[in-house]
C-alpha cells in the first residue's frame, strides 16, 4: 500500500474519531437556564439540596461537580480561567484561597442580603471571613461532640461517659474500657476506647492559639500546645486509647463516602468517637442495613442477648474539659465561596441566600448534615428518627457545645493551613518514633513556619513592610 | 547441548516468570472477589463475583450505595485512544519531516540546530511543565482536547530516532529518484519514508504507549470529567471508591488487557525498535 | 562558506522543518528559556505576589531549605535500586541467551504439551478439593512452562517485558493493594510463610512506614528517619525493580550479547573456561558500552523519577519520605503556585543530572579505552 494512501487513511480515521469526540460530550446548550457549577463532596444529602434550590430558582440550574475537589485543583483551575462558579472550602483553607485571589469578596453585598456574620453563629465568623472581609457563607457549621457506642459499653459493663467530664475522668474511663476489652474480647477483635481525641481537640479545650495577637506564629513557647501534644502522645502510646494513623489505616475499611474512622466506629471497633453529629448520616445508613439484615433473618432487636450483635445504639455527650476551665470546642464550617472570575457570580449569590434560608436548613437538619449557617433555623426540620440513634439528644448536645465554640486567631503572614501542615508533619514523626521529645517537635514546627513566613514576606513587598512595621527589622532578619 | 542443563535453565526461567506475573494473577483473582473476601490470602474467591465488572462498567449498581458508580470508563478509553492516536500520527509525521531535513538536506546551521535539539532532550520534563502550562492558559487551551494533543505532538526524541535511521539509507536511492525527476517532497514520500518503515513503526509504538500511559500532563490540563484519560480517571476512581479494592482491580484488569494484547501483537517491531534506539556495539 | 545550493535548500528545509520547529520553539525551547528566566524572578500564580526580578534569591532559599536536602536524599535513595535493576536485567539477558533449545523441536513440542496437559487435571483436582488459589497457580505454571518450552527465549521475554509494558497508573494502584499492611498479598504471604516456618514475624508497614534500610544512619532529625526497617522507600524501590528488570535494559543487553563474536567463546571453550569465567572475562567486558549507556540513561531518568509513585501511592509519603525532587517541583509549582521557586528546583536538578552525566562520561570513556 502506498505511503500516501496509508497516511490518508490514518488521517481519515482520526478525523472520524474527532467527530465522535466532538459529539460525545454532555449536551447542555438546549437548556435556557443559566448553569451554575458547584464543587462539593458527594455526600448522599447533596442531591436533595441541589434539587430544592433548582425548584426555588427555575431560571438557574445548579449542578454538582465533585471530581474537581481539592484545594490545589480548585485554585489552579480558577486561576486558569476554567474554575467552577461555586466551591466549598473548609474554614482552615480560607487563607489559601484568599491568597490565591480566587474568592469573591462579598462583604458589602452580604450585608444587604442578610448573609453578614452578624446574623450568623457567634464564634464562627472567622470560618468565612479573612482579615475582616467576607468570602462566602457556611453550608454547614458544627462542633465536635463525643459519641459513644452503648452496645460496647454494655458488653464491657463500663459506665457511659458523663456530660462534661474532666480530662482526668475521661482518661480513667477510657483506661477501664481498654482493660475490659483486653480481658473480655477475643484477641484480634480489636476495640480501641476512642477515636479522634487528638491534639487539636485538646488544644481547643485549652482555648489555645497558634498566633499571638500581632500575628506571629507561636508554637514552641505555647504551654497549651505543648500540653495538648504531650497528652496526644500519651493517648497513643502510654494509655493506648486510640490508634496511630498507621494502625488506623491497617484496620480494614468499608466502601463508600466517609472517612475510615467513621466506618470503623459504625462497625464497632471504637467505644467512643469524637466528631460532629453530621456523622449520623453514615451511622444511620449502617443502622438501617443492620435492621434490614435482622428483619431478613426474622430476629427482633430486643431478643438479642449479646449487645454487640444488636444494631447500633448511640449516645452523645459534650467533649471532656480540663479541670477548672470552661470547655472550648473548635467551630468549623464547610463554606461555599464564589469564584471571583466566574461570569455568573451575581447569580451565584442566589445560592448563598438559599444556604441561609429555611428550605435548605430544614433539608440539612433532616439529613442530619451538621447545623445550618443561620442560627435562626438551627432546629428547623429536626426529626427524631430511630431512638437508638439518639438524634434529638445529639442536636441538643451540639447546640449546647456551640455556646463554647471558638475559632482560631488568624495571621496576615501565615495561613492556618500552613500551621496544620507543619504540626501534622511533626505528628507523623511522633508516631513513627515515640521516643522523640515533644518540645523538640514543636521547635521544628516553629522553625518550619518561620521559614514559610519568610518566603511569604520576601515575595510580597506590602506584607514585608507590614511585618517590619509590626515587629521591627531585626525580627525579620532573625527569621531562618 | 546438554538437555538436562537446558531443562534446568528452563526451570529457573519459569520460576522467574511466575514471580513477574504473580501480581497480575492476584489482580485478576481479586477482581472477581466479593468485598468481604478481598482480605483473604487466596488468589481466587470461594464465591466468584464477576458482577464487579458490571459495576465498574456502570451496568449494575454499587452494592453499598445502591447507585451506579460515577465513572465513565468507555469515555476514558475513547479519550486515551483518541488522544494517543492523534499524538502518534502528528508526532511521527512532524518528526519524519524534520528528520528528512536533518538527514538529507544541507543547509547552513543544520548541525548546530540538531545539537540544540539533542540538548533539550536532556532537560527534565518538569522544567518545561510549568511554563508550558502557562502558555496553554494564555492560548485558552486548558481543559480541551487540543491542549492535550498539540504540546505532545512534537518530539526531539522522534526526530533524533528517525534521523539516525534515515542516515543509514544509502544515497543511491535518492540519486535514482532525482534522475527520475522527483523533487524533495516526492523523494521523501515515495522513497525515504517507506524505507524508514521499521523506525517509523518503532517510533509509533513508543509514542502511542508513552502517551497512552501519560499521567502528569492530563492531570494538570483536564478539569471536565468527559475529557479524562485512563490514568487520570483511575486516580479519581481511587479517590472516590478507593476502599473497594475489588472494583479497583477490575478496572485495572480492564486497563491492562488492551495493553497486553497490543504488546503481544507488536512484539517484534517493538524489540527491534529498542535495539535501534540503543547502543550499537 | 555557504554554497548557493545550501541556501536554496534552506528554504526547502524550513518547509520540512516548519511544523516540528514551531512546536519545538513553543513547547520545548520556549518553556525551557521561560523556566530558566523565571527561576530568577518571583513568578507566581498568586495575584498578591508581583513579578519582580529577584536574582539568585530562589536558589539561595532553595539551598538553605532543609527540605530540599531531604528530598534530594529521597531521590538519591531511590536511585540505589538502579544497580540491582541493571544487574537483574543483565542476568536475565545472559540466561535468555544461553542455550535453551532442547534437542529437537519435536522434543520441545512434546514437553510443552505435556506441561500444558499435565497441569490441567492437577489444577482440576485441586479446584475440586477446595484450594482454588493453588489450582490457579498450577494452571498459570502450566501455561507459562508450556509456552516457555515451546517458544524458548521469545516466550520468556514476553513474560518479562510485561511489567514494563503495562507500567503506569494501573499497575501502581495494583501494587498499592499488594502493599496493604493488613490484607495485601505481600504481607499475608510473608505471615503465612513465617507461621509455616515457625519464625516470629511482624509484618513491615511498607507504604505506611517511615522506616528504611538505611535508617540506622545518623541523619539530621529533620530527615524523618523512622529507624531501621522496611518502609515506603523500599516498597517503591521493589516495585520499580519489578517493572524495569525485564524491560528495555534487558532487551538492550540481549542485543549486545548477540553482537559478541562467537570466536571469543570458542577460544574460551578450548581453554576450558567455566561459565562464570566466560561471563567475567568475555561477556561483561564486551557489554561495557551497553552498560555505560544503560547506567547513564538510568541515572538521568532515575533522578527525574518517583513522581507518579509519590502522587498515586503516598502523596509524598509518610512524613515526606517518598517525596522526590520531581514531586517537590510539582507541589511547589502547581499546588503552592510558586512557579519561580519550582523552576529553580528544576534547574538545580538539571545541573545535578548534567554533572553526573559528565562524570559518567569521563569515567566511562576512560574505562572503555582500556
Q: Which of B223, B229, B248 would best serve as a mutation to test chain A binding (most A beta carbons within 10 A)?
A: B223
The span from the CA of A139 to the CA of A49, in Å, is: 10
How confident is the model over A123-145, as pLDDT tens digits? 888 899 988 899 999 999 989 99
- Whether residues B143 and A25 touch (CB distance < 8 A) is answered with no
The CA distance from B260 to the nearest CA of chain A, in Å, is 23
**Of B26, A82, A33, which Cα lies nearest the Cα of C188?**
B26
- Ordered by where they begin, the domains of chain A are 34-142+333-398 (3.40.190.10), 145-197+241-329 (no CATH)
Return the pLDDT at A308. Answer: 67
Return the pLDDT at B280. Answer: 41
How many Å separate Cα C326 from the centre of its chain? Answer: 15
Cβ within 8 Å of residue A33, ≥6 positions away: A58, A59, A60, A61
Evaluate if residue B2 carries a pLDDT over 60.
Answer: no
Which of A94-108, C1-15, C30-44, C280-294 shows the lowest per-residue confidence on average (mean pLDDT)? C1-15
Confirm whether C36 is domain-assigned: no
Nearest to B44 among C5, C10, C136 (CB): C136
Q: Per the structure block, which three cell numbers stand in for B69? A: 458508580
Exposed/middle/buried for residue A384 (C-beta within 10 Å: 0-12, 13-18, 19+): exposed
**Of B220, B137, A461, B223, which Cα lies nearest the Cα of C34?**
B137
Which H helix or E strand runs over A194? Answer: strand A192-195
Evaluate if residue C217 carries a pLDDT over 80.
Answer: no
Confirm whether C309 is domain-assigned: yes
The segment with the largest mean pLDDT, out of A236-250, B71-85, C250-264, is B71-85
3-state SS record for chain B: CCHHHHHHHHHHHHHHHHHHHHHHHHHHHHHCCCHHHCCCCCCCCCCCCCHHHHHHCCCCCCCCCCCCCCCCHHHHHHHHHHHHHHHHHHHHHHHHHHHHHHHHCCCCCHHHHHHHHHHHHCCCHHHHHHHHHHHHHHHCCCCCHHHHHHHHHCCHHHHHHHHHHHHCCCHHHHHHHHHCCCCHHHHHHHHHHHHCHHHHHHHHHHHHHHHHCCCHHHHHHCCCHHHCCHHHHHHHHHHHHCCCHHHHHHHHHHHHHHHHHHHHHHHHHHHHHHHHHCCCC
Name the 3-class secondary structure at C33.
helix
**Of C335, C49, C316, which Cα lies nearest the Cα of A71?**
C335
Can you give the CATH number for the domain in which C137 is found? Answer: 1.10.3720.10
Evaluate if residue A255 carries a pLDDT over 50.
Answer: no
Count of structural domains within chain C: 1
Q: Per the structure block, which three cell numbers stand in for C80? A: 540505589
CA distances (Å), A80 to each of A64, A443, C42, C360, in order? 20, 38, 19, 42
Q: What is the DSSP letter of A371?
A: B
How confident is the model over B215-268, as pLDDT tens digits? 888 888 887 778 888 888 887 777 666 667 788 888 888 888 888 887 777 777
Q: Per the structure block, which three cell numbers stand in for A366? A: 433532616
**Total Cβ atoms within 10 A of residue A348:** 24
Return the pLDDT at B279. Answer: 45
Structurally, what CATH architecture does the domain formed by B73-241 represent?
Answer: Orthogonal Bundle (1.10)
Return the pLDDT at B3. Answer: 55
The span from the CA of A105 to the CA of A127, in Å, is: 14
Evaluate if residue C173 carries a pLDDT over 70.
Answer: yes
How confident is the model over B84-95, as pLDDT tens digits? 999 999 999 898
- Whether residues C48 and A101 touch (CB distance < 8 A) is answered with yes
Residues of chain A in contact with residue B226, where contact means CB-CB under 8 angstroms, are 24-26
- Whether residues A21 and B236 touch (CB distance < 8 A) is answered with no
* Mean pLDDT, rounded, for B138-152: 86
- Residues 215-234 of chain C with CB under 8 A from chain A are 221-222, 224-227
Q: Per the structure block, which three cell numbers stand in for B30? A: 481479586
Nearest to B65 among A7, A82, A256 (CB): A256
Nearest to A249 among C65, C208, C319 (CB): C208
Nearest to C210 among A99, A432, A463 (CB): A432
User: Which tops the pLDDT comparison, A218 or C297?
Assistant: A218
- Whether residues C209 and A458 touch (CB distance < 8 A) is answered with no
How confident is the model over A429-455, as pLDDT tens digits? 888 778 888 998 899 899 889 988 888
* Mean pLDDT, rounded, for A75-95: 85
How many Å separate Cα C322 from the centre of its chain? Answer: 15
Which H helix or E strand runs over A270? Answer: strand A270-275
Evaluate if residue A258 carries a pLDDT over 60.
Answer: no
Return the pLDDT at A99. Answer: 81
Residues of chain C in contact with residue B135, where contact means CB-CB under 8 angstroms, are 26-27, 30-31
What region, left, alpha or beta, does residue A89 occupy, with left being phi > 0 and alpha being psi -120 to 50 degrees? beta
The span from the CA of C365 to the CA of C370, in Å, is: 9
Evaluate if residue B46 carries a pLDDT over 80.
Answer: no
- Whether residues B94 and C38 touch (CB distance < 8 A) is answered with no
- List own/partner pairs for C34-39 with CB under 8 A and 24 or more apart: C34/B131, C34/B134, C35/B127, C35/B128, C35/B130, C35/B131, C35/C343, C35/C346, C35/C347, C36/C343, C36/C347, C38/B130, C38/B131, C38/C339, C38/C340, C38/C343, C39/C340, C39/C343, C39/C344, C39/C346, C39/C347
Evaluate if residue A261 carries a pLDDT over 80.
Answer: no
- On whether the CB atoms of residues C86 and C113 are closer than 8 A, the answer is no
Q: Per the structure block, which three cell numbers stand in for A236? A: 497513643
The span from the CA of B216 to the CA of B220, in Å, is: 6
Which H helix or E strand runs over A35? Answer: strand A34-39
Which percentage of chain A shows pLDDT scores above 90? 16
Return the pLDDT at A123. Answer: 84
* Mean pLDDT, rounded, for A38-42: 83
Q: What rounded mean pLDDT belongs to chain A?
A: 84
Burial C195-207 (b: 16+ CB within 10 A, else e): eeeeeeeebbbbb
- On whether the CB atoms of residues A342 and A136 are closer than 8 A, the answer is no
Confirm whether C33 is domain-assigned: no
- List own/partner pairs for C335-338 with CB under 8 A and 24 or more apart: C335/A71, C335/A72, C336/A72, C337/A75, C337/A76, C337/A79, C337/A100, C337/C44, C337/C45, C337/C46, C338/A455, C338/A459, C338/C44
Cβ within 8 Å of residue C358, ≥6 positions away: none
Q: Which residue ranges does chain B devote to CATH 1.10.3720.10?
A: 73-241
Sign of the CA dihedral C1, C7, C13, C14? Answer: positive
- ipTM value for the complex: 0.77
Return the pLDDT at A203. Answer: 92
The span from the CA of C10 to the CA of C17, in Å, is: 10
Return the pLDDT at C337. Answer: 76
* Mean pLDDT, rounded, for C130-139: 76
End-to-end CA distance of chain C: 40
Confirm whether C31 is domain-assigned: no
Which percentage of chain A shows pLDDT scores above 70? 92
**pLDDT band for position C365 (cuts 50, 70, 90):** low
**pLDDT band for position C83 (cuts 50, 70, 90):** very high
How confident is the model over C274-328, as pLDDT tens digits? 778 888 888 888 888 888 888 888 888 888 878 888 888 887 777 778 889 888 8
Q: Per the structure block, which three cell numbers stand in for A140? A: 454547614
Evaluate if residue B281 carries a pLDDT over 60.
Answer: no
User: Which tops the pLDDT comparison, A170 or C15?
Assistant: A170
Return the pLDDT at A188. Answer: 61
**Of C235, C280, C262, which Cα lies nearest the Cα of C90?**
C280
Rounded to 5 degrees, φ, ψ at C356 are -65, -40
Confirm whether C25 is domain-assigned: no
User: Which tops the pLDDT comparison, A348 or C138?
Assistant: A348
Interface residues of chain B, partner chain A, Cβ below 8 Å: 35, 39, 62, 64-65, 70, 75, 78-79, 81-82, 85-86, 89, 93, 133, 137, 140, 142-143, 145, 189-190, 193-194, 220, 223, 225-226, 236, 240-241, 243-244
Return the pLDDT at B183. Answer: 78
Evaluate if residue C330 carries a pLDDT over 50.
Answer: yes
* Mean pLDDT, rounded, for C257-278: 81
Interface residues of chain A, partner chain C, Cβ below 8 Å: 71-72, 75-76, 79, 99-101, 245-246, 249-252, 425, 428-429, 432-433, 436, 440, 444, 451, 455, 458-463, 480
Q: Which domain holds residue C164?
A: 45-368
Which percentage of chain C shows pLDDT scores above 70? 91
* Mean pLDDT, rounded, for A43-56: 85
* Mean pLDDT, rounded, for C222-228: 72
The span from the CA of A229 to the CA of A226, in Å, is: 5
Amino acid at each position: 500500500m502506498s505511503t500516501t494512501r496509508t497516511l490518508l487513511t490514518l488521517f481519515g480515521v482520526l478525523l472520524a474519531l474527532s467527530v465522535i469526540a466532538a459529539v460525545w460530550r454532555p449536551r447542555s446548550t438546549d437548556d435556557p437556564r443559566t448553569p451554575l457549577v458547584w464543587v462539593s463532596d458527594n455526600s448522599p444529602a447533596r442531591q436533595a439540596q441541589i434539587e430544592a434550590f433548582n425548584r426555588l430558582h427555575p431560571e438557574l440550574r445548579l449542578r454538582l461537580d465533585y471530581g474537581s475537589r481539592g484545594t490545589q485543583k480548585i485554585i489552579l483551575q480558577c486561576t486558569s480561567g476554567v474554575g467552577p462558579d461555586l466551591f466549598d472550602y473548609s474554614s482552615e483553607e480560607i487563607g489559601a484561597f484568599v491568597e490565591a485571589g480566587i474568592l469573591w469578596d462579598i462583604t458589602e453585598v452580604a450585608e444587604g442580603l442578610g448573609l453578614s456574620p452578624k446574623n450568623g453563629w457567634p464564634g464562627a465568623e472567622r470560618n468565612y471571613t479573612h482579615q475582616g472581609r467576607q468570602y462566602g457563607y457556611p453550608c454547614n457549621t458544627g462542633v465536635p461532640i463525643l459519641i459513644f457506642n452503648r452496645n460496647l459499653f454494655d458488653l464491657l459493663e463500663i459506665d457511659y461517659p458523663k456530660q462534661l467530664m474532666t480530662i482526668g475522668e475521661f482518661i480513667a474511663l477510657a483506661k477501664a474500657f481498654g482493660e475490659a476489652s483486653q480481658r473480655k474480647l477475643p484477641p484480634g477483635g480489636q476495640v480501641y476506647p476512642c477515636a479522634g481525641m487528638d491534639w487539636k481537640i485538646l488544644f481547643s479545650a485549652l482555648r489555645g492559639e497558634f498566633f499571638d495577637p500581632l500575628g506571629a506564629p507561636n508554637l514552641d513557647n505555647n504551654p497549651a500546645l505543648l500540653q495538648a501534644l504531650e497528652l496526644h502522645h500519651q493517648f497513643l502510646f502510654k494509655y493506648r486509647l486510640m490508634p496511630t494513623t498507621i494502625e488506623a489505616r491497617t484496620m480494614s475499611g468499608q466502601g463508600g463516602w466517609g472517612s475510615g474512622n467513621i466506618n470503623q466506629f459504625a462497625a464497632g471497633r471504637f467505644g467512643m468517637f469524637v466528631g460532629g453529629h453530621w456523622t449520623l448520616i453514615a451511622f444511620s445508613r449502617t443502622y438501617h442495613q443492620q435492621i434490614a439484615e435482622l428483619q431478613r433473618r426474622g430476629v427482633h432487636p430486643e431478643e438479642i442477648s449479646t449487645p454487640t450483635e444488636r444494631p447500633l445504639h448511640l449516645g452523645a455527650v459534650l467533649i471532656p474539659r480540663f479541670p477548672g476551665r470552661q470547655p472550648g470546642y473548635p467551630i468549623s464550617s464547610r463554606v461555599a465561596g464564589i469564584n471571583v472570575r466566574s461570569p455568573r457570580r451575581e447569580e451565584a449569590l442566589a445560592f448563598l441566600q438559599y444556604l441561609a434560608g429555611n428550605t435548605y436548613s430544614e433539608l440539612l437538619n433532616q439529613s442530619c448534615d451538621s447545623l445550618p449557617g443561620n442560627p435562626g433555623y438551627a432546629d428547623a426540620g429536626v426529626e427524631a428518627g430511630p431512638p437508638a440513634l439518639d438524634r434529638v439528644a445529639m442536636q441538643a448536645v451540639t447546640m449546647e457545645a456551640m455556646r463554647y465554640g471558638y475559632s482560631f486567631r488568624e495571621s496576615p503572614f501565615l495561613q492556618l493551613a500552613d500551621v496544620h501542615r507543619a504540626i501534622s508533619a511533626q505528628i507523623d514523626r511522633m508516631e513513627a518514633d515515640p521516643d522523640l521529645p515533644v518540645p523538640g517537635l514543636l521547635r521544628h514546627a516553629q522553625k518550619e513556619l518561620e521559614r514559610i513566613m519568610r518566603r511569604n514576606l520576601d515575595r510580597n513587598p506590602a506584607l514585608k513592610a507590614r511585618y517590619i512595621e509590626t515587629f521591627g527589622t531585626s525580627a525579620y532578619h532573625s527569621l531562618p | 547441548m546438554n538437555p538436562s542443563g537446558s531443562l534446568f535453565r528452563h526451570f529457573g526461567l519459569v520460576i522467574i516468570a511466575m514471580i513477574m506475573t504473580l501480581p497480575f494473577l492476584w489482580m485478576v483473582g481479586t477482581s472477581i472477589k466479593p468485598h468481604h473476601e478481598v482480605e483473604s490470602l487466596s488468589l481466587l474467591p470461594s464465591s466468584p463475583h464477576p458482577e464487579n465488572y458490571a459495576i465498574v462498567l456502570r451496568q449494575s449498581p454499587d452494592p453499598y450505595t445502591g447507585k451506579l458508580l460515577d465513572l465513565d470508563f468507555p469515555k476514558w478509553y475513547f479519550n486515551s485512544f483518541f488522544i494517543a492516536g492523534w499524538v502518534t500520527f502528528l508526532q511521527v509525521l512532524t518528526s519524519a519531516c524534520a528528520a528528512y531535513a536533518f538527514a538529507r538536506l544541507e543547509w547552513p546551521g543544520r548541525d548546530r540546530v540538531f545539537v540544540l535539539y539533542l540538548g533539550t532532550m536532556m532537560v527534565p520534563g518538569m522544567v518545561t511543565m510549568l511554563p508550558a502550562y502557562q502558555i496553554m492558559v494564555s492560548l485558552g487551551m486548558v481543559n480541551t482536547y487540543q491542549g492535550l494533543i498539540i504540546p505532545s505532538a512534537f518530539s526531539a526524541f522522534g526526530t533524533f530516532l528517525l534521523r539516525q535511521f534515515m542516515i543509514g539509507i544509502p544515497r543511491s536511492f535518492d540519486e535514482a529518484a532525482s534522475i527520475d525527476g522527483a523533487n524533495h517532497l516526492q523523494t521523501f514520500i515515495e522513497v525515504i519514508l517507506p524505507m524508514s518503515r521499521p523506525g517509523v513503526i518503532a517510533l509509533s509504538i513508543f509514542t502511542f504507549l508513552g502517551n497512552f500511559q501519560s499521567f502528569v500532563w492530563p492531570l494538570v490540563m483536564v478539569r471536565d470529567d468527559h475529557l479524562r484519560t485512563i490514568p487520570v480517571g483511575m486516580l479519581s476512581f481511587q479517590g472516590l471508591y478507593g476502599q473497594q479494592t475489588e472494583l479497583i482491580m477490575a478496572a485495572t484488569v480492564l486497563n491492562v488487557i488492551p495493553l497486553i494484547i497490543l504488546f503481544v501483537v507488536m512484539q517484534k517491531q517493538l524489540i527491534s525498535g529498542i535495539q535501534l534506539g540503543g547502543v550499537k556495539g | 562558506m555557504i554554497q548557493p545550493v545550501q541556501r536554496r535548500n534552506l528554504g526547502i528545509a524550513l518547509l520540512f522543518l516548519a511544523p516540528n520547529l514551531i512546536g519545538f520553539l513553543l513547547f520545548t525551547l520556549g518553556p525551557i528559556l521561560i523556566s530558566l528566566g523565571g527561576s530568577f524572578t518571583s513568578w507566581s500564580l498568586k495575584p498578591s505576589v508581583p513579578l519582580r526580578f529577584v536574582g539568585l534569591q530562589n536558589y539561595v532559599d532553595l539551598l538553605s531549605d532543609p527540605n530540599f536536602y531531604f528530598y534530594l536524599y529521597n531521590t538519591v535513595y531511590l536511585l540505589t535500586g538502579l544497580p540491582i535493576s541493571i544487574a537483574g536485567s543483565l542476568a536475565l539477558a545472559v540466561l535468555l541467551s544461553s542455550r535453551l533449545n532442547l534437542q529437537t523441536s519435536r522434543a520441545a513440542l512434546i514437553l510443552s504439551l505435556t506441561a500444558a496437559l499435565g497441569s490441567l487435571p492437577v489444577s482440576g483436582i485441586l479446584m475440586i478439593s477446595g484450594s482454588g488459589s493453588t489450582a490457579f497457580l498450577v494452571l498459570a505454571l502450566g501455561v507459562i512452562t508450556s509456552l516457555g518450552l515451546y517458544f524458548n527465549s521469545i516466550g520468556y521475554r514476553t513474560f518479562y517485558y510485561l511489567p514494563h509494558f503495562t507500567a503506569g497508573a494501573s499497575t501502581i494502584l495494583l501494587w498499592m493493594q499488594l502493599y496493604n499492611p493488613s490484607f495485601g498479598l505481600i504481607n499475608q504471604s510473608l505471615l503465612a510463610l513465617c507461621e509455616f516456618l515457625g519464625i516470629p514475624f511482624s509484618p513491615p508497614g511498607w507504604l505506611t512506614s517511615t522506616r528504611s534500610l538505611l535508617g540506622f544512619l545518623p541523619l539530621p532529625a529533620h530527615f524523618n528517619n523512622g529507624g531501621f526497617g522496611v518502609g515506603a522507600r523500599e516498597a517503591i524501590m521493589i516495585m520499580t525493580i519489578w517493572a524495569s528488570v525485564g524491560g528495555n535494559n534487558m532487551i538492550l543487553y540481549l542485543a549486545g550479547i548477540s553482537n559478541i563474536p562467537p570466536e571469543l567463546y570458542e577460544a574460551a571453550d578450548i581453554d576450558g573456561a567455566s561459565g562464570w569465567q566466560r561471563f567475567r572475562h568475555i561477556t561483561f567486558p564486551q557489554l561495557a558500552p551497553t552498560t555505560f549507556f544503560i547506567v547513564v540513561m538510568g541515572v538521568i531518568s532515575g533522578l527525574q523519577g518517583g513522581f507518579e509513585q509519590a502522587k498515586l501511592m503516598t502523596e509524598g509519603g509518610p512524613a515526606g519520605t517518598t517525596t522526590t525532587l520531581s514531586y517537590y517541583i510539582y507541589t511547589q509549582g502547581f499546588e503552592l503556585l510558586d512557579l519561580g521557586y519550582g523552576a529553580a528546583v528544576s534547574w538545580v536538578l538539571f545541573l545535578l543530572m548534567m554533572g553526573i552525566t559528565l562524570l559518567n562520561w569521563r569515567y566511562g570513556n576512560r574505562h572503555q579505552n582500556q
